[in-house]
Structure 1
Amino acid sequence: MSYKVHIKNMVCPRCISAVSNILQELKIPYSSIKLGEVELTKSLSVENKNKFSKALQDIGFSLINDRRSQLIEQMKTLVVDKIYYSSEDLNIKWTDFISEKLRLDYKYLSSLFSSVESITFEQYIINQKIERVKELIVYDELTLSEIAFKLNYSSVAYLSNQFKKVTGMTPTQFKNNRDKNRKSLDEF
């Protein structure tokens, strides 16, 4: 039997490595780690749970104990994983994708997200896409057209309009700006 533990602020492959190191250091057996979640091979004793929680907090993570917070963290993780790390097409319908992955009604999930995070889930997705656009602009390896295609924007104009609405500047202004004002993923 396996036991799932949910962890807040795991947003990148290095986070997985950091949590793996903690588990190995504490000699806590696990079968898998993915963004936001660890599958343990046995339940944690109170002492080990406290040690694990403290070690996670020391590096900016935290255990998620209540179901609502777990769902919200899972929603965030699915978005980050899809936008930043998936090689699959981003041409998806987010409502279907999220409800299918979490096996819950999208209206419920969206309402839960909004009530806790103080922004809509749709705005969270837009913010993540814009941060990804910023990252790709900074890398300077793709044209704006290629970035728009990669992130499933219908046109460069639509991407530019959304970018300006969120950041207050055009992608070109952002590119020419020395202070890139990017947020780390765990700030969302």
Structure 2
Amino acid sequence: MAHTLLIKNMVCARCKSTILELLESIGLEIESIELGKVVVKQDIKDHYKTIKNGLKNLGFELIEDELVVLIENIKVLVIQCISENNVVDIFSKITKEIGKNDATISKIFSKSEGITLEKYIINLKIEKVKEYIQLNQLNFSEIAYNLNYNNSSHLAKQFKTVTGMSMSEYRKLQNWDRKELDRIV
């Protein structure tokens, strides 16, 4: 009997491999793994405490509350969209996947996280901008295009509002001030 584990703070491929390694070391067979979700082929009740503690020791958390599951699913969808440079219509993807309208999703997210979903998306996009700047592979116009900004000046203004410095000033820094994606909210 397959069992689905919903896991908080699982935001990248490295997270997936770390969790896969943990679960396999416990002796579990994995059917599928994606950001925020692992399907285990067998029943986990005998291993539940070990899984929960192992995840906690690695900085992850099993999600059991329905509201927390919803919020984590929203975060995972936003992170996936931004990571894949698929930011054209994040809200429609979220509403399609979650099955609730924009207003409901925004209200639930804001109430739970203390920040609007729009502001959360902006903060994640700014972290992606920081990554692009650090990699030094794209110019500011290309970065703006990849993240679906109308133009680079719109991105520049938003970057300065969020970080307090221009993108050029950030590029000159030696000590990159980047936040972990699972620590944005």
Answering whether residue 122 of structure 2 is matched by residue 123 of structure 1, we say no
Residue 95 of structure 1: how far off its partner (Å):
2.3
Matched with 1:2 is 2
Q: Distance in 2 between matches of 1:82 and 1:27?
A: 33
Amino acid at match of 1:2: A
Measured after TM superposition, the shift of residue 90 of structure 1 is: 2.6
CA–CA separation in structure 2 for the residues paired with 1:91 and 1:2: 35
Partner SS state of residue 180, structure 1: coil
How far apart are the structure 1 equivalents of 2:3 and 2:149? 39
* Identity %, equivalent residues: 37
Aligned partners of 1:21, 1:95: CA distance in 2, in Å? 33
Verify: 1:91 aligned to 2:88, yes or no: yes
Q: After the TM superposition, list the runs of 4 or more consecutive aligned residues in structure 1 that deviate by more than 6 angstroms.
A: none
Which letter maps to 1:61?
F
* CA offsets 1:6-36 (integer angstroms, 9 cap, x no match): 1010011000001100110011222101001
Alignment of 1:120-159 (within 5 A): 120-159=116-155
TM-score norm. by structure 2 comes to 0.95
What corresponds to 2:165 in structure 1? 169
* Cα displacement (A) at 1:187: 1.1
Moved more, 22-31 or 63-72: 22-31
1:55 aligns with 54
Q: Which blocks of at least 5 consecutive residues in structure 1 are unaligned?
A: none
Give the TM-score normalised by structure 1: 0.93
Pairwise CA RMSD: 1.3
Give, in whole Å, the separation in 2 of the partners of 1:95 and 1:21.
33
Letter in 1 for 2:64: N
Q: How many aligned positions are there?
A: 184
CA distance in 1, matches of 2:16, 2:3: 17
